[in-house]
Structures are given as structure tokens and as C-alpha cells.
Amino acid sequence: MSEARARLDALPNLYPHLFQGGPLPWGFEVGDGWSDLIATLCVRIDSILREAPGAQFEILQVKEKFGALRFYYEIDGVEESISEAVLEAVMLAGKASVHICERCGRPGDHGSKEGWLFTRCAVCQAGDP
Ligand SMILES: [Zn+2]
């Protein structure tokens, strides 16, 4: 297992209150290159939820779709300002994901090949899909 993958798999243990339903049923369905992005997002959400001790929060699914990060979650028991702050953090991470190679984490471009959308750096794009 890569270091990046181990880091992802450790997140439910590091932030149990973000994974109130336990580890993700299908794991993190993204390439290793986005591990920093996702870890940073968890840190950000964690700090937002510190302002909302009664928050119920559960990350449901984290995956790649159309070459971008999709981060599905449920939030309850918080004021609107908190849920808006979380939504903004999630949307920013989604926007950032299309500039980060999903495979290796270097700066990448959103591209397509034969109808398949992805985000890759030039090195990874030159290699296997
Ligand atoms: Zn790459």
C-alpha cells in the first residue's frame, strides 16, 4: 500500500466525528494523487465543526467522477452559516481537484480521451491511462 493510500485510509480513525457511520463502505474511490487534497479538506471541515459541537456529520462517499473530486456528505444539527462554510470548503476542493493529477498529485490538467474525463499531469498522461 502506498503512503498516500495509507494516509487516506487513516482519515476515518483520525476524524471519527466526520465518519460517524464508520469507514466508507467502498473506501476512497480516487487516485493517490488526491490524498493531500482530501486530508486537507477533512482538516478544514474538522475546524469548521469545532464551532458546532452538536453537529451530526457523516461522509458518505468520496470518489472521482468526470475527472473531478466528488465528496458526498450529510450534515445536521448546525446553523446555516456552518453548513454553508462546509459546502464552500467541499466545493473549493472539487474545483482544486481538476488542477491536481489524480495519479501522482503534481499539477495537472483536466482532459479527455475517447470520451473519458480525467485530471493528469503531463508525465502521467504520457503513460498508461
Ligand atoms: Zn501525474
119 Cα–ligand 1 center, Å: 8
Ligand 1 center–CA 106 separation, angstroms: 5
Bridge-based pairing state of the strands 116-120 and 109-113: antiparallel
72 pLDDT above the threshold of 60? yes
Q: Give the environment of ion ligand 1: residues with CB less than 5 A.
A: 101, 103-104, 106, 121, 124
Q: What is the mean pLDDT of the chain?
A: 95
Whether the full predicted model's pTM is greater than 0.85, yes or no, is yes
Indicate the domain borders of the chain. Answer: 3-99
CA of 99 to the centre of ligand 1 (A): 11
Distance 81 CA to ligand 1 centre (A): 36
Give the pLDDT band of residue 129 (cuts 50, 70, 90): low
Could you give the CA distance from residue 48 to residue 52 in angstroms, rounded to a whole number?
8
Q: Tell me the per-residue pLDDT of 27-61, one tens digit each, with 9 for 90 and over.
A: 999 999 999 999 999 999 999 999 998 999 999 99
